[in-house]
Amino acid sequence: MTFYIVVRPGEDRLAEISKLDIGFVQPGAKVEFVKLENNVPSEQLQVLSNLKLETGDVICLAGLCVRRTTIDIIELAKNTKQNYMPGVGIDHRTVPILPGKISIRQPIEKNYQTAWPYLMVIGNPESAITSFKIFEQLEPSQYWTNYVPDTPDLIHLLGVVSVTGFWQTPEWFKLVDLSIRDLEIARVMYASHMWHDWIAFYPANGNFKLENHSQLHPVWLAGSEKPLEHWKRG
């Protein structure tokens, strides 16, 4: 089992946070950084297609915290020989995020894709690699039929990868996306705290600002360089 952390230019600190979280949930796990040298999404995807993947491996973008659920999905992928991406995005309260709430997801949602492709669990390495290579034979007009992004991103290409027939994106595989924050929960605190303070330990009552019941799901930090903390009462 190897965790591959995809590191785009300028994301070295985020990669270290992802590695730290992997160490919490799977001590001793093998972690490799996949350094991408440029910001051309098609070339970034080509780098992924050259990885020597094995069943049970995980690919995640820098700034993704895998959490405990990912480990369970790894075991499922090994048994089913299928590849998985999260199929539902939720906020820090575990409330599903509705389409149209996150602008960078427009090319994914408007082209009828459901994946939250910050995280990939490999059950069938051969088909995963095949899905990454499909873009070599396709034109953008063939996979962005309803909406073409002005500035394509790697996650837009991974969204297309998710619908090649080689990936499962089940609704029960959820990802906490901290691009979404609810400003109505504690307006007074929000006036004096950066949003990513919400994922820090809150000593007044022993809770996480990222609520405890969402700690099991993988978390996309949306650029925050503040790591999630692990704390158990008593």
Q: Where are the domains of the chain?
A: 2-220
Instruction: Give the residue-averaged pLDDT of 138-144.
Output: 86
Distance, in Å, from the CA atom of 68 to the CA atom of 24, rounded to the nearest integer, reads 9
Which of the four pLDDT bands, split at 50, 70 and 90, describes residue 130? very high
Mean pLDDT of 82-89: 98
**CATH number belonging to domain 2-220:** 3.90.550
pLDDT at 231 over 70: no
Residue 177: what residue type?
Answer: D
Return the closest-CA partner of residue 44 out of 130, 179, 135: 135
Angle (CA) 86 90 95, round 5°: 140
What percent of the chain is predicted at pLDDT more than 90? 64
Average pLDDT of the residues in 7-29: 93
